[in-house]
Amino acid sequence: MADAEVVGDYTQNFEVWIDDFNEWQTRIGFDPSWLGDYRFDIKFDWDTAGSHIEFGDFKGKPKWERRMQIPQQTIRDAIVNMVSVQGDTEFASVEQQNHLLASAPTEYDRKSALRIMCEEQRHGWQMAYLLCTFFGEQGVREAAKLLERNAQEGTRILGSFNEPIDHWLDFFMFTHFIDRDGKYQLKMLSTSSFKPLAASMGPMLKEESFHLGTGANGLRRIVKQGVIPCALVQKYVNKWVSTGLDLFGTDDSASAQWAYVYGVKGRYDEREAQEPAAREHLNEASRELYFQELRDEMRRISKVRKKGEPALYIPSDKFKRGIGKFAGKRYTVHGEDFEGDEVAWEEYLSSVLPSDEDEDRLINEYMEQEWIQYREWKGD
Protein backbone atom coordinates (compact mmCIF):
# COMPACT_ATOMS: atom_id res chain seq x y z
CA MET A 1 0.00 0.00 0.00
CA ALA A 2 0.93 3.69 0.02
CA ASP A 3 3.88 5.01 1.97
CA ALA A 4 1.60 7.52 3.68
CA GLU A 5 2.27 7.80 7.40
CA VAL A 6 0.48 9.32 10.37
CA VAL A 7 3.07 9.80 13.11
CA GLY A 8 2.16 8.04 16.38
CA ASP A 9 4.97 9.03 18.76
CA TYR A 10 6.22 12.53 19.33
CA THR A 11 9.60 13.68 20.63
CA GLN A 12 9.79 15.40 24.02
CA ASN A 13 10.55 18.73 22.31
CA PHE A 14 7.35 18.52 20.37
CA GLU A 15 5.32 17.42 23.41
CA VAL A 16 6.50 20.58 25.19
CA TRP A 17 5.59 22.66 22.15
CA ILE A 18 2.06 21.19 22.22
CA ASP A 19 1.57 22.62 25.73
CA ASP A 20 2.53 26.04 24.35
CA PHE A 21 0.13 25.51 21.46
CA ASN A 22 -2.75 24.83 23.86
CA GLU A 23 -1.98 28.09 25.63
CA TRP A 24 -1.86 29.90 22.28
CA GLN A 25 -5.34 28.64 21.39
CA THR A 26 -6.71 30.03 24.65
CA ARG A 27 -4.84 33.30 24.15
CA ILE A 28 -6.31 33.97 20.71
CA GLY A 29 -9.82 32.88 21.74
CA PHE A 30 -10.03 29.66 19.76
CA ASP A 31 -12.18 27.30 21.82
CA PRO A 32 -10.69 23.76 21.51
CA SER A 33 -14.20 22.29 21.81
CA TRP A 34 -14.88 23.71 18.32
CA LEU A 35 -12.53 21.05 16.99
CA GLY A 36 -14.99 18.25 17.81
CA ASP A 37 -13.40 14.98 16.68
CA TYR A 38 -10.74 16.72 14.58
CA ARG A 39 -7.19 15.58 15.37
CA PHE A 40 -3.98 17.40 14.54
CA ASP A 41 -2.29 14.43 12.89
CA ILE A 42 1.25 14.71 11.60
CA LYS A 43 1.03 13.27 8.08
CA PHE A 44 3.75 12.35 5.61
CA ASP A 45 3.27 11.17 2.05
CA TRP A 46 6.64 9.53 1.38
CA ASP A 47 5.38 8.16 -1.91
CA THR A 48 5.23 11.50 -3.69
CA ALA A 49 8.21 13.07 -1.92
CA GLY A 50 10.72 11.44 -4.32
CA SER A 51 13.90 9.65 -3.33
CA HIS A 52 16.52 11.76 -5.17
CA ILE A 53 17.14 15.48 -5.29
CA GLU A 54 15.29 16.79 -8.32
CA PHE A 55 17.00 20.08 -9.21
CA GLY A 56 19.83 22.40 -8.23
CA ASP A 57 23.50 21.63 -7.62
CA PHE A 58 22.84 18.42 -5.64
CA LYS A 59 20.54 16.97 -8.31
CA GLY A 60 20.62 13.17 -8.44
CA LYS A 61 21.89 12.64 -4.89
CA PRO A 62 19.58 10.96 -2.33
CA LYS A 63 17.20 13.39 -0.62
CA TRP A 64 18.19 14.31 2.92
CA GLU A 65 16.13 12.63 5.61
CA ARG A 66 17.92 13.95 8.71
CA ARG A 67 19.63 17.17 9.67
CA MET A 68 23.11 15.66 9.75
CA GLN A 69 22.78 14.51 6.14
CA ILE A 70 22.38 18.12 5.02
CA PRO A 71 25.87 19.07 3.84
CA GLN A 72 26.09 22.74 4.88
CA GLN A 73 24.84 24.90 7.74
CA THR A 74 23.65 27.49 5.20
CA ILE A 75 21.32 24.89 3.71
CA ARG A 76 20.04 23.90 7.15
CA ASP A 77 19.37 27.58 7.85
CA ALA A 78 17.53 27.98 4.55
CA ILE A 79 15.30 24.99 5.35
CA VAL A 80 14.59 26.23 8.89
CA ASN A 81 13.69 29.60 7.42
CA MET A 82 11.30 28.11 4.83
CA VAL A 83 9.58 25.93 7.43
CA SER A 84 9.32 28.83 9.88
CA VAL A 85 7.75 31.18 7.32
CA GLN A 86 5.29 28.51 6.24
CA GLY A 87 4.34 27.73 9.86
CA ASP A 88 4.03 31.41 10.67
CA THR A 89 1.36 31.93 7.99
CA GLU A 90 -0.68 28.95 9.21
CA PHE A 91 -1.13 30.23 12.76
CA ALA A 92 -1.48 33.84 11.61
CA SER A 93 -4.50 33.06 9.45
CA VAL A 94 -6.32 31.52 12.43
CA GLU A 95 -5.57 34.64 14.49
CA GLN A 96 -6.96 36.76 11.67
CA GLN A 97 -10.12 34.75 11.08
CA ASN A 98 -11.43 33.02 14.20
CA HIS A 99 -13.58 35.96 15.31
CA LEU A 100 -15.64 35.55 12.13
CA LEU A 101 -17.20 32.27 13.22
CA ALA A 102 -19.84 34.15 15.20
CA SER A 103 -21.06 36.08 12.16
CA ALA A 104 -21.08 33.36 9.50
CA PRO A 105 -23.74 33.96 6.84
CA THR A 106 -24.81 30.29 6.81
CA GLU A 107 -24.13 27.21 8.91
CA TYR A 108 -22.23 25.61 6.04
CA ASP A 109 -19.99 28.69 5.79
CA ARG A 110 -19.34 28.45 9.51
CA LYS A 111 -18.45 24.77 9.22
CA SER A 112 -16.24 25.45 6.20
CA ALA A 113 -14.41 28.28 7.97
CA LEU A 114 -13.95 26.14 11.05
CA ARG A 115 -12.59 23.29 8.96
CA ILE A 116 -10.19 25.67 7.25
CA MET A 117 -8.98 26.93 10.65
CA CYS A 118 -8.56 23.38 11.94
CA GLU A 119 -6.54 22.45 8.88
CA GLU A 120 -4.42 25.59 9.01
CA GLN A 121 -3.59 24.71 12.62
CA ARG A 122 -2.72 21.18 11.56
CA HIS A 123 -0.39 22.61 8.91
CA GLY A 124 1.19 24.73 11.64
CA TRP A 125 1.60 21.61 13.77
CA GLN A 126 3.27 19.87 10.86
CA MET A 127 5.79 22.69 10.46
CA ALA A 128 6.41 22.89 14.22
CA TYR A 129 6.92 19.10 14.25
CA LEU A 130 9.59 19.38 11.54
CA LEU A 131 11.36 22.14 13.46
CA CYS A 132 11.24 20.36 16.84
CA THR A 133 12.08 16.91 15.50
CA PHE A 134 14.77 17.59 12.92
CA PHE A 135 16.50 20.84 13.85
CA GLY A 136 17.51 20.56 17.50
CA GLU A 137 17.69 23.69 19.66
CA GLN A 138 17.53 25.99 16.64
CA GLY A 139 14.30 24.33 15.52
CA VAL A 140 12.77 24.38 19.01
CA ARG A 141 13.43 28.13 19.25
CA GLU A 142 11.84 28.79 15.87
CA ALA A 143 8.84 26.59 16.70
CA ALA A 144 8.27 28.61 19.88
CA LYS A 145 8.32 31.84 17.86
CA LEU A 146 5.50 30.53 15.66
CA LEU A 147 3.22 30.99 18.65
CA GLU A 148 4.79 34.23 19.93
CA ARG A 149 4.36 36.41 16.85
CA ASN A 150 0.79 37.62 16.44
CA ALA A 151 -1.29 38.85 13.51
CA GLN A 152 -3.34 41.24 15.66
CA GLU A 153 -0.13 42.88 16.84
CA GLY A 154 1.25 43.04 13.31
CA THR A 155 4.28 40.89 14.14
CA ARG A 156 3.73 38.03 11.67
CA ILE A 157 6.51 37.62 9.10
CA LEU A 158 4.55 38.37 5.90
CA GLY A 159 2.43 41.45 5.23
CA SER A 160 -0.82 39.73 4.19
CA PHE A 161 -0.88 37.88 7.47
CA ASN A 162 -0.98 41.06 9.51
CA GLU A 163 -3.91 42.52 7.55
CA PRO A 164 -7.15 42.62 9.52
CA ILE A 165 -9.93 40.39 8.19
CA ASP A 166 -12.91 42.28 9.52
CA HIS A 167 -15.78 40.61 7.73
CA TRP A 168 -16.75 37.74 5.47
CA LEU A 169 -16.04 39.57 2.23
CA ASP A 170 -12.43 39.83 3.38
CA PHE A 171 -12.52 36.18 4.44
CA PHE A 172 -13.53 35.00 0.97
CA MET A 173 -10.98 37.36 -0.61
CA PHE A 174 -8.30 35.97 1.69
CA THR A 175 -9.10 32.32 1.03
CA HIS A 176 -9.31 33.00 -2.70
CA PHE A 177 -6.20 35.14 -3.17
CA ILE A 178 -3.90 34.48 -0.21
CA ASP A 179 -4.57 30.77 0.25
CA ARG A 180 -3.94 30.47 -3.49
CA ASP A 181 -0.47 31.85 -2.89
CA GLY A 182 -0.24 29.19 -0.15
CA LYS A 183 -0.96 26.51 -2.74
CA TYR A 184 1.95 27.82 -4.81
CA GLN A 185 4.33 27.83 -1.87
CA LEU A 186 3.36 24.29 -0.84
CA LYS A 187 3.75 22.98 -4.38
CA MET A 188 7.18 24.63 -4.66
CA LEU A 189 8.23 22.86 -1.44
CA SER A 190 6.73 19.52 -2.51
CA THR A 191 9.87 18.72 -4.53
CA SER A 192 12.27 19.77 -1.77
CA SER A 193 15.62 18.09 -1.22
CA PHE A 194 14.73 17.76 2.47
CA LYS A 195 12.50 14.71 2.31
CA PRO A 196 10.37 15.26 5.46
CA LEU A 197 9.49 18.72 4.14
CA ALA A 198 8.61 17.40 0.67
CA ALA A 199 6.58 14.55 2.23
CA SER A 200 4.62 17.02 4.36
CA MET A 201 3.31 18.89 1.35
CA GLY A 202 1.04 16.27 -0.30
CA PRO A 203 -1.40 16.02 2.63
CA MET A 204 -1.31 19.81 3.10
CA LEU A 205 -2.05 20.44 -0.58
CA LYS A 206 -5.04 18.09 -0.43
CA GLU A 207 -6.51 20.18 2.37
CA GLU A 208 -5.62 23.52 0.79
CA SER A 209 -7.77 22.82 -2.29
CA PHE A 210 -10.95 23.02 -0.20
CA HIS A 211 -9.83 26.38 1.19
CA LEU A 212 -9.44 27.79 -2.31
CA GLY A 213 -12.78 26.36 -3.36
CA THR A 214 -14.43 28.03 -0.38
CA GLY A 215 -12.98 31.40 -1.33
CA ALA A 216 -13.85 31.18 -5.02
CA ASN A 217 -17.37 29.94 -4.40
CA GLY A 218 -17.97 32.51 -1.68
CA LEU A 219 -17.05 35.31 -4.08
CA ARG A 220 -19.20 33.75 -6.80
CA ARG A 221 -22.19 33.60 -4.39
CA ILE A 222 -21.72 37.27 -3.47
CA VAL A 223 -21.44 38.42 -7.08
CA LYS A 224 -24.41 36.27 -8.13
CA GLN A 225 -26.59 37.67 -5.36
CA GLY A 226 -25.89 41.20 -6.61
CA VAL A 227 -26.58 43.06 -3.33
CA ILE A 228 -23.00 44.27 -2.92
CA PRO A 229 -22.26 46.26 -6.09
CA CYS A 230 -19.45 44.89 -8.24
CA ALA A 231 -17.76 48.31 -8.07
CA LEU A 232 -17.35 47.82 -4.32
CA VAL A 233 -16.29 44.18 -4.64
CA GLN A 234 -13.66 45.39 -7.14
CA LYS A 235 -12.11 47.63 -4.48
CA TYR A 236 -11.54 44.60 -2.25
CA VAL A 237 -10.08 42.67 -5.18
CA ASN A 238 -7.66 45.58 -5.72
CA LYS A 239 -6.73 45.51 -2.03
CA TRP A 240 -5.96 41.79 -1.81
CA VAL A 241 -4.30 41.16 -5.18
CA SER A 242 -1.37 43.50 -4.57
CA THR A 243 -0.58 41.91 -1.21
CA GLY A 244 -0.96 38.43 -2.73
CA LEU A 245 1.55 39.28 -5.46
CA ASP A 246 4.00 40.58 -2.85
CA LEU A 247 3.98 37.22 -1.08
CA PHE A 248 6.14 35.75 -3.86
CA GLY A 249 9.07 37.88 -2.70
CA THR A 250 11.49 40.24 -4.38
CA ASP A 251 12.45 40.26 -8.05
CA ASP A 252 15.92 38.91 -8.94
CA SER A 253 15.90 37.23 -5.51
CA ALA A 254 19.25 35.84 -4.36
CA SER A 255 17.66 33.78 -1.57
CA ALA A 256 15.23 32.14 -4.03
CA GLN A 257 18.21 31.39 -6.24
CA TRP A 258 20.13 29.81 -3.36
CA ALA A 259 17.07 27.79 -2.33
CA TYR A 260 16.99 26.47 -5.88
CA VAL A 261 20.71 25.74 -5.91
CA TYR A 262 20.28 23.76 -2.66
CA GLY A 263 17.26 21.95 -4.10
CA VAL A 264 15.21 23.16 -1.12
CA LYS A 265 12.47 24.98 -3.07
CA GLY A 266 11.66 24.44 -6.73
CA ARG A 267 9.48 26.07 -9.31
CA TYR A 268 5.69 25.75 -9.11
CA ASP A 269 5.78 23.46 -12.14
CA GLU A 270 9.17 21.90 -11.36
CA ARG A 271 8.24 18.34 -12.30
CA GLU A 272 6.36 19.35 -15.45
CA ALA A 273 8.73 22.07 -16.73
CA GLN A 274 10.67 21.24 -19.90
CA GLU A 275 12.99 24.26 -19.84
CA PRO A 276 15.83 24.81 -17.36
CA ALA A 277 14.96 27.29 -14.62
CA ALA A 278 15.88 30.96 -15.00
CA ARG A 279 17.53 30.97 -11.59
CA GLU A 280 17.78 34.75 -11.33
CA HIS A 281 14.04 35.21 -11.85
CA LEU A 282 12.42 32.37 -9.91
CA ASN A 283 10.00 34.53 -7.91
CA GLU A 284 8.91 36.42 -11.03
CA ALA A 285 8.16 33.15 -12.85
CA SER A 286 5.98 31.79 -10.02
CA ARG A 287 4.28 35.14 -9.58
CA GLU A 288 3.42 35.26 -13.27
CA LEU A 289 1.78 31.81 -13.14
CA TYR A 290 -0.19 32.91 -10.06
CA PHE A 291 -1.18 36.17 -11.75
CA GLN A 292 -2.45 34.33 -14.82
CA GLU A 293 -4.44 31.94 -12.60
CA LEU A 294 -6.03 34.90 -10.80
CA ARG A 295 -7.14 36.40 -14.11
CA ASP A 296 -8.69 33.10 -15.25
CA GLU A 297 -10.49 32.64 -11.93
CA MET A 298 -11.81 36.22 -11.91
CA ARG A 299 -13.26 35.80 -15.40
CA ARG A 300 -15.23 32.81 -14.10
CA ILE A 301 -16.44 34.69 -11.01
CA SER A 302 -17.37 37.78 -13.01
CA LYS A 303 -19.54 35.76 -15.42
CA VAL A 304 -22.31 35.32 -12.82
CA ARG A 305 -22.77 39.07 -12.14
CA LYS A 306 -26.15 40.66 -12.59
CA LYS A 307 -27.05 42.46 -15.82
CA GLY A 308 -25.72 46.01 -15.86
CA GLU A 309 -22.98 45.37 -13.29
CA PRO A 310 -19.40 46.10 -14.46
CA ALA A 311 -17.09 43.16 -15.10
CA LEU A 312 -14.66 42.32 -12.29
CA TYR A 313 -11.00 42.20 -13.19
CA ILE A 314 -7.59 41.60 -11.65
CA PRO A 315 -5.67 44.88 -11.29
CA SER A 316 -2.27 45.33 -12.91
CA ASP A 317 0.66 43.64 -11.18
CA LYS A 318 2.24 47.10 -10.95
CA PHE A 319 -0.53 48.54 -8.76
CA LYS A 320 0.31 49.29 -5.11
CA ARG A 321 3.12 46.82 -4.83
CA GLY A 322 5.19 46.77 -1.65
CA ILE A 323 7.92 44.46 -2.99
CA GLY A 324 9.81 44.19 -6.28
CA LYS A 325 10.64 46.59 -9.08
CA PHE A 326 7.24 48.33 -8.92
CA ALA A 327 7.37 48.88 -5.15
CA GLY A 328 6.74 52.45 -4.01
CA LYS A 329 5.95 53.65 -7.55
CA ARG A 330 2.62 55.06 -8.63
CA TYR A 331 0.62 53.09 -11.14
CA THR A 332 -3.11 52.91 -11.76
CA VAL A 333 -5.05 49.66 -11.42
CA HIS A 334 -4.66 49.36 -15.21
CA GLY A 335 -0.88 49.59 -14.98
CA GLU A 336 -0.48 53.11 -16.38
CA ASP A 337 1.90 55.65 -14.80
CA PHE A 338 -0.06 57.84 -12.40
CA GLU A 339 0.19 61.52 -13.26
CA GLY A 340 -0.39 63.80 -10.29
CA ASP A 341 0.87 64.92 -6.92
CA GLU A 342 0.65 63.27 -3.51
CA VAL A 343 -2.84 64.62 -2.83
CA ALA A 344 -4.14 63.40 -6.19
CA TRP A 345 -2.55 60.01 -5.56
CA GLU A 346 -4.26 59.65 -2.17
CA GLU A 347 -7.54 60.63 -3.79
CA TYR A 348 -7.00 58.08 -6.50
CA LEU A 349 -6.25 55.36 -3.96
CA SER A 350 -9.42 56.09 -2.03
CA SER A 351 -11.37 55.70 -5.28
CA VAL A 352 -9.95 52.26 -6.06
CA LEU A 353 -9.43 50.80 -2.55
CA PRO A 354 -12.01 50.36 0.23
CA SER A 355 -12.36 53.57 2.27
CA ASP A 356 -13.81 53.87 5.79
CA GLU A 357 -17.11 54.92 4.21
CA ASP A 358 -17.05 51.83 1.98
CA GLU A 359 -16.46 49.62 5.02
CA ASP A 360 -19.31 51.28 6.84
CA ARG A 361 -21.68 50.89 3.90
CA LEU A 362 -20.63 47.28 3.40
CA ILE A 363 -21.26 46.27 7.00
CA ASN A 364 -24.18 48.47 7.96
CA GLU A 365 -26.07 48.59 4.71
CA TYR A 366 -25.30 45.68 2.38
CA MET A 367 -24.50 43.02 4.96
CA GLU A 368 -27.77 43.79 6.74
CA GLN A 369 -29.51 42.43 3.63
CA GLU A 370 -29.37 38.99 1.96
CA TRP A 371 -25.92 39.84 0.62
CA ILE A 372 -24.80 36.32 -0.25
CA GLN A 373 -26.62 33.42 -1.83
CA TYR A 374 -28.40 31.10 0.63
CA ARG A 375 -28.03 33.44 3.60
CA GLU A 376 -30.67 32.35 6.08
CA TRP A 377 -28.87 30.98 9.07
CA LYS A 378 -28.53 33.55 11.82
CA GLY A 379 -26.46 31.61 14.34
CA ASP A 380 -27.22 28.97 16.97
- Residues 265-294: x where in contact with another protein by CB under 8 A, - otherwise, as a string: ------------------------------
Total residues contacting another protein (rule CB under 8 A)? 30
User: What is the Cα–Cα distance from 137 to 323, expressed in whole angstroms?
Assistant: 32
User: What is the Cα–Cα distance from 217 to 168, expressed in whole angstroms?
Assistant: 13
165 versus 333: smaller Cβ distance to another protein: 165
Phi, psi of 262 (to 5 degrees): -75, -10
108 versus 345: smaller Cβ distance to another protein: 108
Cβ-contact 25, 124 below 8 angstroms: no
Residue 297 C-beta: closest distance to another protein, Å: 9
37 versus 339: smaller Cβ distance to another protein: 37
User: What is the Cα–Cα distance from 358 to 55, expressed in whole angstroms?
Assistant: 48
List 17, 30, 40, 48, residue binding another protein (CB under 8 A): 48
CA angle in degrees (0–180, nearest 5) for 224-362-173: 60
Which residues in the 204-263 window bind another protein by CB under 8 A? 205-206, 209-210, 212-214, 216-218
Residue type, 156: R
Phi, psi of 84 (to 5 degrees): -65, -45
User: What is the Cα–Cα distance from 210 to 152, expressed in whole angstroms?
Assistant: 25
Point out which span in 72-80, 151-159, 163-171, 196-204 binds another protein (CB under 8 A): 196-204
176 versus 239: smaller Cβ distance to another protein: 176
- Decide: is 173 part of the binding site for another protein (CB under 8 A): no
Q: What is the length of the chain?
A: 380
Which residues in the 105-164 window bind another protein by CB under 8 A? 106-109, 111-112
Residue 190 C-beta: closest distance to another protein, Å: 8
Radius of gyration of the chain (CA): 21
CA angle in degrees (0–180, nearest 5) for 73-78-83: 125
Binding stretches for another protein (CB under 8 A): 1-2, 4, 37, 48, 106-109, 111-112, 190, 201-203, 205-206, 209-210, 212-214, 216-218, 373-374, 376-377, 380
